[in-house]
């Protein structure tokens, strides 16, 4: 088994444990998912408004393991199609589905069977009928090209073992003019890889985080414009919760962008 496979299996196991813990015990962040070395204010349900929390089943709230509130920055509109990468217990899919209404559609993509089962149960309990949960990898999104208006994600891209492929896939599935609005863990440009590892593990959302400039370079390289990476709160020294926004270009020439792989791209990913 390769390092990539073993790391992905470790991530899958950790999030499966978190889903089972919510179902069986009503516990969440303490089970060691994306919470390592952080306070309750850094991750989880505290980052959502009281109104949003009131719209969710208890199990969905308990399963919140993210580092932000992407539905609060994505500016979702009635009738849009939204894709949540790494949808976990379904909190952001439920909130997105409510925002886009019955003429819209919210997809949730996750690789963990236990999280998918929990998300489907949570969506049913919330009375959501315009949500679809898909099993798959965020590096291989099982949706057609140019099929999504908005991509969101909450503290998941940092866990990918091939972030350049994730950015390429986001660009592929978004329609021209489509929007990216994600919350993620992002490192200061000054930190070395070893310094990041000192602050937390890969599974703990720290060691694998992109730096601010890596995010900017990576998104621009796959056809995004108006890229912004805004730090919101520090979760460790030089490691931040952040909001990343970008718009897929409508320039027809962008279709001819070369497919740049990690080894070919300076600074990413």
pLDDT tens-place string over residues 56-65 = 655 555 555 5
16 CB-near residues (< 8 Å, 6+ apart): 112, 113, 114, 115
CA atoms within 13 A on the CB side of 117: 11
| Banded model confidence at residue 264, pLDDT cuts 50, 70, 90 | very low
Q: CA 90: distance to chain centroid? A: 12
Q: What's the pTM? A: 0.81
30 CB-near residues (< 8 Å, 6+ apart): none
Residue given tokens 């959502």 in the structure block: 48
Query: What's the pLDDT at 222?
Result: 94
Residue given tokens 């991509």 in the structure block: 151
Give the tens place of pLDDT for each residue, 191-203: 888 888 777 766 6
Q: Are strands 81-85 and 105-110 parallel, antiparallel or unpaired?
A: parallel
| Banded model confidence at residue 124, pLDDT cuts 50, 70, 90 | very high
What is the number of structural domains in the chain?
1
Task: Please indicate whether residue 252 or residue 93 has the higher confidence score (pLDDT).
Answer: 93
Q: Name the token pair of 31.
A: 């089970």
Q: Cis peptide before 269, with omega less than 30 degrees from 0?
A: yes
Tell which residue, 157, 166, 149, has the closest CA to residue 83. 149
In a domain, 67, yes or no: yes
In a domain, 269, yes or no: no
In a domain, 10, yes or no: yes
Query: What's the pLDDT at 67?
Result: 63
Query: What's the pLDDT at 21?
Result: 73
Domain holding 119, by residue range, is 3-264
CATH number of domain containing 88: 3.40.50.150
């Amino acid at each position: 088994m390769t390092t990539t496979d073993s790391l992905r299996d470790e991530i899958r196991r950790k999030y499966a444990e978190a889903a089972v813990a919510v179902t069986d015990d009503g516990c969440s962040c303490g089970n060691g998912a994306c919470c390592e070395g952080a306070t309750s204010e850094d991750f989880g349900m505290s980052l959502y408004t009281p109104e949003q929390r009131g719209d969710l089943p208890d199990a969905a709230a308990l399963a919140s393991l993210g580092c932000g509130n992407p539905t609060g920055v994505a500016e979702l509109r009635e009738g849009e199609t939204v894709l949540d990468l790494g949808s976990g217990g379904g909190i952001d899919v439920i909130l997105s589905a409510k925002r886009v209404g019955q003429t819209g559609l919210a997809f949730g993509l996750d690789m963990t069977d236990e999280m998918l089962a929990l998300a489907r149960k949570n969506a049913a309990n919330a009375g959501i009928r315009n949500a679809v949960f898909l099993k798959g990898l965020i590096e291989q999104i099982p949706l057609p090209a140019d099929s999504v208006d908005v991509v969101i994600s909450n503290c998941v891209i940092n866990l990918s073992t091939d972030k350049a492929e994730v950015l390429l896939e986001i660009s592929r599935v978004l329609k021209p003019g489509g929007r990216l609005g994600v919350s993620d863990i992002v490192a200061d440009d000054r930190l070395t890889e070893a310094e990041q590892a000192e602050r937390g593990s890969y599974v703990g959302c720290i060691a694998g985080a992109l730096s601010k400039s890596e995010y900017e370079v990576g998104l621009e390289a796959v056809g995004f414009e108006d890229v912004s990476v805004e730090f919101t709160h520090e979760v460790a020294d030089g490691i931040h919760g952040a909001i990343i926004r970008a718009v897929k270009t409508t320039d027809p020439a962008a279709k001819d962008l070369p497919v740049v792989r990690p080894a070919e791209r300076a600074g990413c990913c």
